[in-house]
Amino acid sequence: MRKSRIKAKLKRKEPVLLTTLHLTDPSLFELTSLMGFDGIWMDLEHHGYSVETAAQLMRAARVGNTDILARPAKGEFMRMARLLEAGAHGIMYPRCDNAAEAREVVAWSKFAPLGRRGFDGGNPDMPYCMGSMGEYIRTANEETFLVLQLEDEQAVANAREIAEVDGVDVLFFGPADFTVLSGIPGQFDHPRVQEAVRVIADAARGAGKHWGMPSASPERTKQLLDLGARFICHGADIIMVKTGLEEIQRRFGPLGFQFEPRS
């Protein structure tokens, strides 16, 4: 199994930066990996492509050293194992409510004695039965990292007990769903959001774990790093394409070109 770039940097307490790719063109994953990003956030919670498609995208990313962080939906424990077998180094588990659920995530993601993950070996992560069983299991347990998302007020209240679960590497705040579930959609500067960030930061620090969240700008990222965050996600391919197209419209509109956007 390939060593995780992200886990190595976190061990050294260095910040890591991931970007999100939603479009399913392998060339995009290949390009991002060649450019040396720490990780690609692959989202199978909100997007409809299969594990088979995910495996092909991960294969393209292996041209470089970029880790894949794959997010299944809540409760998709069997899918987590398949994503790891396909070559993901990390699992982002959404809507984690409490320590009991965190332990379940660890159990499905780690081999014994750390968990109950089933063994195969005939997939890209071993790879393809080319190594020894014992070495593969040891390396997989060491290199696989788990990111648990806290996305509502009760989960944030349970942050410390979640962080203390053996095998959990990162607490990750989900501000969008947090604001929706708190009745303050999109109010990312709301005091309840800022308090949630503080609670998660304190919980991670107290448990000796890392934490992070999405960040919209270098300025916001500097603030988060100063608070102790080390796991930052910024940008998404769909937004980058949209921003680029809007820039074309802005520049060419004064020349008389007209556009008819539809929502």
* pLDDT at residue number 177: 97
Q: Where are the alpha helices (DSSP H) in the chain?
A: 5-11, 26-34, 51-61, 77-86, 99-109, 133-143, 153-157, 159-163, 175-181, 191-207, 218-226, 237-252
Backbone φ and ψ of 228, nearest 5°: 105, 0
Residue 261 lies in a domain: no
Residue 61 lies in a domain: yes
Contacts of 223 by beta carbon, 8 Å cutoff, 6+ apart: none
Residue 173 lies in a domain: yes
Residues of the chain with pLDDT > 70: what percent? 100
pLDDT by residue (tens digit) across 128-154? 999 999 999 999 999 999 999 999 999
Residue 262 lies in a domain: no
pLDDT by residue (tens digit) across 85-124? 999 999 999 999 999 999 999 999 999 999 999 999 999 9
Residue 234 — very low, low, confident or very high, per pLDDT cuts 50/70/90?
Answer: very high
Number of domains the chain contains: 1
The predicted model scores a pTM of: 0.94
Residue 260 lies in a domain: no
Q: What is the CATH number of the domain that holds 44?
A: 3.20.20.60
Residue 262 — very low, low, confident or very high, per pLDDT cuts 50/70/90?
Answer: confident
Rounded Cα distance, 223 and 76, in Å:
34
Residue 62 lies in a domain: yes
Residue 263 lies in a domain: no
* pLDDT at residue number 1: 83
- Which domain range does residue 129 map to? 5-255
Average pLDDT of every residue of the chain:
97
